[in-house]
Amino acid sequence: MKPSIWTDAFVEFEPEEAIERLREAGWRYFELADKHWRDIDKREKPEEGFRNLKRQCERLGVLIHQMHGPMFNTCEEPSKLKAHMEEAERSLRWAGVLGVRWVVFHPGSASISEDEEDLEEVRRRNLEVFGKLADTARQLQLGIAIENTADRNDGGRRVFGATTYELLFLVRALGPEVAGICWDTGHANVQKLNQYKAIKALGKHLVATHIDDNNSSSDQHLLPFEGNIDWKEVMRAFHEVNYDGFFNLEIGGAMHKVPLSVRVEKARYALELTKALIEGRF
């Protein structure tokens, strides 16, 4: 596993400066945040902007290995979904320009009852949307990583993608060569899952991570050990399934309130903490 971090740690800045500051702290691998690819997407010449960002990364000796795609509901009404799909397709195109391997997306849900007919409609709509995105990703020689969700993040109702079964259903239907799972430890903790068992169940389908902590009441994006996640069990599971991808911190909540004058130092501490987790020094 290699230590990685979400560029949202310096969300106030354009992506080029965010990466410069994180590189100053010692980071070499990144997930490009949703906000940051949008910063470039809205420029007058976005393709040139993404090519320049790739050149900057090459100059700095760093890599953007994954990107967070737009967050939208795959089960929303068609008029909204059309615009969001165009945006999602565009994010995949920019990921291709950057040489990104995986683009992360959230599955969608509807305000449904618990009967099987309604649940089947949610499954169908997720498969339809992600099937289209998977086709585009395949053409661009990259993949989509579907992130686990949490029921309690959405007013307590059932949210599709909060269980390992639902995630496996999607990636197996789409094909493991183009679809995998991004495991978000914070969402899993809000869902109160046994993360050891969940990660073991997902196994070879794990292709990306969002590593963060919370107190299980809400998605707080804290650094590991600032919440109540059992990190020994999480790391035991990752090692037992031979996960060898990027161990990517998604820690906006732990960083955004830190003054800029010392945030690079906090990012440097976060890197050392991540290395300790990966190496089992805790």
**pLDDT-based confidence at residue 155 (cuts at 50, 70, 90):** low
- Cα 89 from Cα 132, distance rounded (Å): 9
Q: Decide the pairing of beta strands 179-184 and 102-105.
A: unpaired
Question: Is 253 domain-assigned?
Answer: no
Question: Is 33 domain-assigned?
Answer: yes
Whether this prediction's pTM lies above 0.75 is answered by yes
Question: Is 269 domain-assigned?
Answer: yes
- Domain range for 70: 2-247+258-279
pLDDT digits (tens, 9 = 90+) for 185-218: 999 999 999 999 999 999 999 999 999 999 999 9
pLDDT digits (tens, 9 = 90+) for 236-254: 999 999 999 999 999 988 9
Q: Record the tokens describing residue 78, joined without a space.
A: 């068609």
Domain of 71, CATH number, reads 3.20.20.150
Please name the amino acid found at residue 258.
V
Q: Which residue has the higher pLDDT, 110 or 275?
A: 275
- Sign of CA pseudo-dihedral 17, 22, 26, 27: negative
> Which pLDDT score, from 0 to 100, does residue 18 have?
98
183 contacts: CB under 8 Å, gap ≥ 6: 147, 148, 198, 199, 202, 206, 208, 209, 210
Residue 101 per-residue DSSP state: S
Question: Is 112 domain-assigned?
Answer: yes
Which residue is it, tokens 């902590």? 213
Answer yes or no: are the C-beta atoms of 1 and 24 closer than 8 Å.
no
- Cα 151 from Cα 252, distance rounded (Å): 21
Question: Is 252 domain-assigned?
Answer: no
Give the number of domains in the chain: 1
Question: Is 141 domain-assigned?
Answer: yes
- Cα 274 from Cα 279, distance rounded (Å): 9
> Which pLDDT score, from 0 to 100, does residue 112 have?
61
Question: Is 55 domain-assigned?
Answer: yes
Instruction: Using alpha carbons, select from 106, 75, 73 the residue that is nearest to residue 187.
Output: 106
pLDDT digits (tens, 9 = 90+) for 49-86: 999 999 999 999 999 999 999 999 999 999 899 999 99
